[in-house]
Chains A and B, each alone.
Chain A
Amino acid sequence: MSDEDEIILSDLPDDELVQQMFDDLYDGLKEEIEEAVHILLDRGWEPYRVLTEALVGGMTIVGHDFRDGILFVPEVLLAANAMKGGMFILKPLLAETGAPQVGKMVIGTVKGDIHDIGKNLVGMMMEGAGFEVIDLGINNSVEKYLEAMEAEKPDILGMSALLTTTMPYMKVVIDTMIEKGIRDDYTVLVGGAPLNEEFGKAIGADAYCRDAAVAVETAKTFMARKHNQATAAH
């Protein structure tokens, strides 16, 4: 690109800057995203608005194109890395400004499994959608999930697995929750490449989520249902 073609982000009006951020997220340009986030904040945008309109808006496009086979894992990782740069700036500000809290999720990859790309994407998109996310990382035993649920009292438990050999462990966790009489206290969402809807049903999860966008929508639906039930009970 020649110097004449170079886009000066700070020269763009808000709507064009947000469009440019969509493009930059799509291209995984972390520094540009960080710069644009600062520009919008300097222009008086609320951190929550920057997050939802610019970052989540852009990542939603990335997610759709990944689902449709237009983008592949490396491009999604680069986009996620760029979004992470923006989130890093916004997170402390979101806490200060009291951004709306949709719900709380504990998420982790199951025991014997070290794959976390999908889980990290889900966690990030859930945060973008206003959920508080407690990420347990990889290789989580049933005890670790139970401890985290006890300590954090989340609305949602998310479990991820990439391997055919590790995905049955999700049933171990759910069965233990049933044994302890706490299964119905949580919405259990599961995901990972070898999983499918039948598997989710068979192990007693509330839903199988095909990708991060579906996970966010499913989580929102369950939170709305929970809210409605609580309202109806009063």
Chain B
Amino acid sequence: MLNDDTLTNEGLAATGAGPILLLACGALAHEILALKRLNGWDHMDLTCLPAKLHLYPEKITGAVAEAVKKHRAKYDQIFVLYADCGTGGLLAAKCAELGVEMLQGPHCYSFFQGNDDFASKIDDEFTSFYLTDFLVKQFDAFVWRPMGLDRHPELRDMIFGNYTQLVYQAQTKDPKLEAKAQECARRLQLDYVYRFTGYGDLGKAMQDFTRLKDAAS
């Protein structure tokens, strides 16, 4: 069973099974494994970098490049399951240079909701703070503690003062997670919006990758 703290701090090691390696953010591990199970994609192995890299987006490109180089001899193909994720286009440029594909979109909030839908709503929703299933579960590790709100609650206004609502993008229907997301909104003093997204563009991107590779082989 996956441990969220491990996914946050250490990531997930590859098992060596299958010709395709999915190189992903630890925050996506649950969803990717669920999609693998649902679709019977046993030819795909998964390795994850620590989700906490998102606290330092400037480190993501280097970490992904290093992981691609480390694993590429053992697999026919590597699919990078990161969106831009705050790298300002540097990750896309690096993936192109390395000859590996990556996810489309600015970040996981966008591809979970569907990149087109997210883009169409953003003019009305740019004061939203987003959480996914993983981030609801890891709220303290990703938001509360790194932002210092556990030690200095007075920082709330400086950090979240311009936000108006917390949108919980649910990948799964889980009343416990929904209750926790509501609690997160209360702690941040933001209005609460629930939005079920399922796996959004993530599943489609993995399926497209599989089809493309099947067609090529």
Chain A interface (Cβ < 8 Å from any Cβ of B):
28, 72-75, 77-78, 81, 112-117, 138-139, 163-165, 167, 193-196, 199
Which residue in A112, A116, A165 is a CB contact (below 8 Å) of B162? A116
CA distance in complex: A171, B192 (Å): 34
Ordered by A's residue number, 29 sampled pairs between the chains whose C-beta atoms are within 8 Å are A72-B148, A73-B146, A73-B147, A74-B146, A74-B148, A77-B155, A78-B152, A114-B126, A114-B162, A115-B162, A116-B162, A117-B158, A117-B159, A138-B162, A139-B126, A163-B86, A163-B106, A164-B84, A164-B87, A164-B89, A165-B122, A167-B88, A193-B57, A193-B58, A194-B57, A194-B86, A195-B88, A196-B90, A199-B88
Which residue in B86, B88, B123 is a CB contact (below 8 Å) of A112? B123
In the assembled complex, B209 has its CB within 8 A of some CB on chain A:
no
Q: Known: A139-B126, A163-B106. Is A77-B88 also a contact (CB below 8 A)?
A: no
CA distance in complex: A124, B60 (Å): 30
CB distance B57 to A74 under 8 Å? no
Q: Hey, which chain A residues are within 8 Å of B84, CB to CB? A: 164, 194
Chain B interface (Cβ < 8 Å from any Cβ of A):
57-58, 84, 86-90, 106-107, 119, 122-123, 126-127, 146-149, 151-152, 155, 158-159, 162-163
CA distance in complex: A126, B122 (Å): 32
Cβ of B19 to closest chain A Cβ, rounded Å: 32
CB distance A74 to B123 under 8 Å? no
CB distance B159 to A77 under 8 Å? yes
CB distance B87 to A194 under 8 Å? yes
Which residue in B86, B106, B147, B159 is a CB contact (below 8 Å) of A193? B86
Q: Hey, which chain A residues are within 8 Å of B151, CB to CB? A: 74
Closest B-chain residue to A30, C-beta based?
A: B154
Q: Hey, which chain B residues are within 8 Å of A116, CB to CB? A: 162
Closest B-chain residue to A167, C-beta based?
A: B88
Q: Known: A139-B126, A194-B88, A196-B90. Is A77-B162 also a contact (CB below 8 A)?
A: no
CB distance A199 to B126 under 8 Å? no
CB distance B162 to A81 under 8 Å? no
Cβ of B186 to closest chain A Cβ, rounded Å: 20
CA distance in complex: A158, B155 (Å): 25
Cβ of B38 to closest chain A Cβ, rounded Å: 30
CB distance A164 to B148 under 8 Å? no
Q: Known: A112-B123, A113-B126. Is A77-B107 also a contact (CB below 8 A)?
A: no
CB distance B158 to A164 under 8 Å? no
CB distance B155 to A165 under 8 Å? no
- 11 further contact pairs, Cβ within 8 A, besides A72-B146, A116-B162, A164-B89: A72-B148, A73-B147, A74-B152, A75-B148, A113-B126, A114-B127, A117-B158, A164-B106, A193-B58, A193-B86, A199-B89
CA distance in complex: A115, B159 (Å): 8
CB distance A77 to B158 under 8 Å? yes
Cβ of B94 to closest chain A Cβ, rounded Å: 12
Closest B-chain residue to A210, C-beta based?
A: B58
